[in-house]
Amino acid sequence: MTGLRETLAGYLAVRRSLGYKLARPEKLLAQFIAYLEDKGEVTVSTEHALAWAMLPGRDANWHAHRLSVVRGFAAYLHTIDPAAEVPAAGLIPSRPRRATPYLYSDAEITALIAAAASLRFPLRTATYQTPIGLLAVTGMRVGEAIRLDRADLDLDGGVITVRQSKFGKTRLVPLHPTTVTALRSYLRLRDRLHARPLSPAVFISPAGTRLLYCNVHATWKLLAASAGIKPRSAACRPRIHDLRHAFAVASLLDAYAAGRDGQARLALLSTYLGHVDPSHTYWYLTAAPELLALAGQRLEDHLAGLP
């Protein structure tokens, strides 16, 4: 292991101790260090960082992202090796681009669950139908559902323990009785079809292994196409993560419909979703015309009472 690779291991350990996952940065930085080694370099320079970041690939945003990953590592390296250069911010112009959430209707969620019935193997069908429903009614992250173990389910108490999620947080997710019933049904079927799985995971493949993130996303695309769910624009495509957005919007709409204080419910929703800061929850609500209509109506009602 070279000095740069040893330093990278230390950098990743420090960042992960703060709760960061860093799966993609680890891969990118390993590629960058391999590039430096191929060039015979022993430390980071702005020239080589920029050259590596600009290697042919995707668009300017991707190049800027690659350089930002190097900047973080270079800043850490500079505290150990003063000769290491930290590339300046903004060397590669880019425009922040964030996908527009696709807010699923109840009918679309039902269609997605129905589409999963066409998957090969009964266990695979159930292993996709049940998580789709779980994500839709809890707003859990996809990765959180995949990482669930049997020990994380307290179905008698109606609670899921989500362990070591984003930023290393662990939280309890209470379940509606109908969700508990659905999970019990899935586990009975799972145990009948695969009594001795290779993994303690709740949701398993027909081989008895934990689901892989990339395979879940690939299957989701097939299910969305089968259900007839199409992109609404180039920036608004049906992603599995958008079930989380749809849950957040539906929760707040239900609160307003019941006459509850939406702002107070927002704080509870933020905790339920596992957000570090309530401001992160606001992003989940920005693309909802229904919420904008409610806000407009509340403003109109307020103005109507003024002279």
> Tens digit of pLDDT for each residue in 179-205?
999 999 999 999 999 999 999 999 999
Is the residue at 8 inside a domain?
A: yes
pLDDT of residue 22: 87
27 is catalytic: no
Average pLDDT on 200-212 reads 95
- Between the CA of residue 258 and those of 54, 237, 248, 294, 299, what are the distances in Å? 53, 31, 16, 13, 19
Q: For 251, phi and psi rounded to 5 degrees?
A: -65, -45
Question: Do 15 and 73 fall into the same domain?
Answer: yes
The catalytic position among 163, 171, 241, 265 is 241
pLDDT over 90 (residue 224): yes
pLDDT in tens, 104-126: 999 999 999 999 999 999 999 99
- How long a stretch of residues is the chain? 307
For residue 115, give the 3-state DSSP assignment: helix
Tally Cβ neighbours within 10 Å of residue 9: 12
Contacts of 162 (CB under 8 A, 6+ apart): 140, 144, 148, 152, 170, 171, 172, 173, 274
141 is catalytic: yes
Distance from C-alpha of 190 to C-alpha of 201, rounded to nearest angstrom? 11
**DSSP H helical segments within 196-284, as ranges?**
213-226, 242-257, 262-273, 278-283
CA angle at residue 162 from 161 to 167, to 5 degrees?
A: 145
| 70, two tokens | 């190097």
Is the residue at 191 inside a domain?
A: yes
Question: Do 155 and 221 fall into the same domain?
Answer: yes
Residue 286's pLDDT band, with cuts at 50, 70 and 90, is low
Is the residue at 258 inside a domain?
A: yes
284 is catalytic: yes
The catalytic position among 48, 71, 141, 147 is 141
Distance from C-alpha of 243 to C-alpha of 239, rounded to nearest angstrom? 8
Distance from C-alpha of 173 to C-alpha of 139, rounded to nearest angstrom? 10
128 is catalytic: no
Question: Do 213 and 247 fall into the same domain?
Answer: no
pLDDT of residue 167: 63
This prediction's pTM: 0.67
Is the residue at 196 inside a domain?
A: yes
For residue 172, give the 3-state DSSP assignment: strand
102 is catalytic: no
The catalytic position among 63, 190, 210, 244 is 244
Distance from C-alpha of 251 to C-alpha of 288, rounded to nearest angstrom? 12
CA angle at residue 21 from 20 to 27, to 5 degrees?
A: 125
pLDDT over 80 (residue 293): no
275 is catalytic: yes
The catalytic position among 65, 66, 71, 275 is 275
Cβ atoms of residues 205 and 217 within 8 Å? no
Total number of domains constituting the chain: 3
Q: Considering 37, 60, 78, which residue would you say is the last residue of a domain?
A: 78
The catalytic position among 21, 166, 237, 239 is 166
Is the residue at 232 inside a domain?
A: no
Question: Do 142 and 248 fall into the same domain?
Answer: no
Question: Do 44 and 112 fall into the same domain?
Answer: no
Domain holding 13, by residue range, is 3-78
pLDDT over 80 (residue 74): yes
Question: Do 265 and 187 fall into the same domain?
Answer: no
